[in-house]
Each structure stands twice: as structure tokens, then as C-alpha cells.
Amino acid sequence: MTNSQRFSYQQINQKIGEAGYLPFLPITLTYNNNSLTVSGLLDSGATVNVLPYHQGKQLGLEWEKQTISMNLTGNLANYESRAVLLTGKINNFHPVNLAFAWTKAENISLILGQVNFFLEFDICFYRSQLLFEVKPKIKS
């Protein structure tokens, strides 16, 4: 197993040069027997991981069966959200359990935030090089 892996920032907006690059990480999410490979925005300012509604549906989640409500803040404060637990796998790292606020918002990216993505992985941003490094936490 690899100790750490580097990834390139992804260009989101060509018109604004280097400012148009963001740290999107390819990750495979699994719920029951359904898997979905997506790109998640690494957001060290986000308190929680956020799963867009359509991606939850693709994984086979049923809104009515998720009974724990969550309150989001910022531009997602007006959307309902529910707590869900998924498995996340990045390349050849071991899979980890990731808690998400599954939101009814549609036009957002998957967000990987402090709880609990940044609790499971150490991230080092090399913004000037348009690179970031991901390393699984060391189990004690």
C-alpha cells in the first residue's frame, strides 16, 4: 500500500488562469453493493462532508429512510439534509467510513470536509505547484 499520493488540481474555469484550478480528488463511494466514482472538492473550510442529492440516489440511498436530519450553513443552509454513512476508497488506500450530509441541493460538488474526511486523511496543499498530497492517517 502507498503511504501517500499526489494529485493535480483540476481546471474549473479557463478564463481566470491559475485561480480557476481547484483540488478535486477522485474517490469511489460505496453504499451496500452500489459504487460510484466521483470527484470530491477538498474543502478544509467545510465542517462536514456533503453529498449532492443525485449522487445519493445513484448509490441507492432512499431519502425517506434516512432519519437523522442535519443543518447545513452557508449557501446550503436553505436545503434539507440527512446524515448517511458511506465507504470511501481512494486508489489503493484502504477503504474508510465517511459520514456525509446528504443534501437536496443538486448543483453542487461533492464536498470532502473536516468531519470526517480530514479526520481520516492528512492533506498537504502545494497550491503554487497545482498539486496536493493525500496520506491516510496513522492508526495508533
Query: What is the chain's mean pLDDT, rounded?
Result: 95
pLDDT of residue 1: 45
**pLDDT tens digits along 1-10:** 459 999 999 9
- Per-residue burial over 77-97, b if 16 or more Cβ lie within 10 Å, else e, is eeebbbebebebbbeebeebe
d(CA 49, CA 70): 12
pTM: 0.94
- Spatial CB neighbours of 110, under 8 Å, sequence gap ≥ 6: 27, 38, 39, 40, 41, 49, 50, 51, 52, 55
**pLDDT tens digits along 109-127:** 999 999 999 999 999 999 9
Give CATH for domain 5-136.
2.40.70.10
